[in-house]
Structure 1
Amino acid sequence: MQQLAIFGGTFDPIHWGHLLLAETALAQLHLEQVIWIPSKNPPHKQATLFEHRVTMLQLATKNNPAFTVSLIERERSGTSYAINTLIDLSVYYPNTHWYWIIGLDAFQTLPRWYRGSELAQMCDWLIAPRLVGGETIAQSEIICKQVEQKFREKSYTIHWQLLHTPLVRVSSSIMRELCRQGHSIHDLVPEPVRLYIATNNLYSNNSE
């Protein structure tokens, strides 16, 4: 049985922190592939044009044969729900043990996701710890156990583990704000992504 991980998100834009998480998951779990899934219509936020985000993702991952960018969301007309994505991917990748790479903040909200209790049991969860404001790995573990307990109270089981990733204090929102203020993001995103952002005038005050 092959071992594949899903890494979903808006990736608006993708940055080195995302790539480090994916590389950590590959090494820690001995995965064969990380499948990147850009959300077309995320349920809780507005995002840059899907085509721009896909292109940046492809530019950032093209040199790693263990990374695959899936466009499974492209034809989806409604809201992008995680469980639908996993069900659809399972058709293309049968006989697979699935993992899902996710940040701690998003993992905390999993019990409230659409059909979250079902989804929780369909894959193992690889969680990026939140190491801001002096928070420790132990505190991240406590939060994960609290989420696990919420599912247990509903008689559902969830398997998770923390990713042993170095501390990276970057986020897509920081990237967008730096661009709006005219600051450099040279060391925060892959160079092809930086050039694409500049060429297409993304995230600036003058962008569409």
Structure 2
Amino acid sequence: MQQLAIFGGTFDPVHWGHLLIAETALHQVPVEQIIWVPSLNPPHKQAVAFQHRLEMLKLATKDNPAFTVSLIEVNTPETSYAINTLIDLAADYPNTHWYWIVGLDTFQTLPRWHRRHELTQMCDWLIAPRLLGGENIAQSELICKQVEHQLRNQSIIIDWQLLHIPLVGVSSSLIRQLIRERQSIRYLVAEPVRVYIAAHNLYAK
């Protein structure tokens, strides 16, 4: 049985922190492939056009044969739930043990996810601790255990583990802010992504 991981997100833009998370997941579990799933219409967020985010993601991941960018959300309804994404991917990749990579903030919302009882039984969870704010691993682990307890109160048992990633103080919001302030983002994103952002004048306003 193959082992695959889903890494969903807005990726607005994709940066070295995202790449470190995916690379860590490859070797910590290990999984054979990371399937990147960019959000078509991210809820509660204003993001640049999907095509731009998709192209940047392709540029950032093209050199790693273990990275695949999926367009699964393009063919989904306006409201795309995680359970639908996993069901659709499972149809394309049978006989697979699934992992889902999420950031700590997203993991904290899991007790409110649509059809979470089904979803949590279909995959294990790989949680990326916060990269900013000085929060240490022990605090991140405590938060994960609190989420696990909330789910247990809903009669949901989950398998999860923290990803042991180097702490890198970079986020998509920081990159967008630096661009608005006309500051350099070199070495915060992959060089082809930096060139793409400049060529299309993204995030400048």
Task: Compute the displacement of 1:134 (Å).
Answer: 3.6
- 1:105 and 2:105 aligned: yes
Residues 10, 47 of structure 2: 8 Å contact kept: yes
Task: Compute the displacement of 1:131 (Å).
Answer: 5.2
Task: Compute the displacement of 1:88 (Å).
Answer: 0.5
Code of the residue aligned with 1:89 in structure 2: it is L
Give the aligned partner of residue 38 of structure 1. 38
Measured in 1, the distance between the counterparts of 2:133 and 2:178 equals 21
Give the aligned partner of residue 138 of structure 2. 138
Task: Compute the displacement of 1:130 (Å).
Answer: 2.2
Q: Which range moved further: 72-81 or 168-177?
A: 72-81
With the length of structure 1 as denominator, give the TM-score of the two structures: 0.95
CA distance 1:52–1:133, change in 2 (3 Å): closer
Task: Compute the displacement of 1:132 (Å).
Answer: 4.1
Measured in 2, the distance between the counterparts of 1:171 and 1:69 equals 20
Q: 1:110-136, CA deviations, whole angstroms, 9 ceiling, x for partnerless residues?
A: 111222232222111001112544422
- 1:84 and 2:84 aligned: yes
Q: Which range moved further: 196-205 or 136-145?
A: 136-145
Give the aligned partner of residue 196 of structure 1. 196
Residues 11, 38 of structure 1: 8 Å contact kept: yes
Q: 1:1-55, CA deviations, whole angstroms, 9 ceiling, x for partnerless residues?
A: 1000000000000000000000000010121100000000122212110000000
| Structure 1: unaligned runs, 5 residues or longer | none
- 1:23 and 2:27 aligned: no
Code of the residue aligned with 1:189 in structure 2: it is V
With the length of structure 2 as denominator, give the TM-score of the two structures: 0.96
CA distance 1:131–1:55, change in 2 (3 Å): closer
4+ residue runs over 6 A deviation? none
RMSD: 1.1
Give % identity.
72
Residues 43, 80 of structure 1: 8 Å contact kept: no
SS at match of 2:72: coil
Alignment of structure 1 residues 171-182 onto 2, 5 Å: 171-182=171-182
SS at match of 1:169: coil
Corresponding pairs, count: 205
Measured in 1, the distance between the counterparts of 2:111 and 2:117 equals 6
SS at match of 1:174: helix
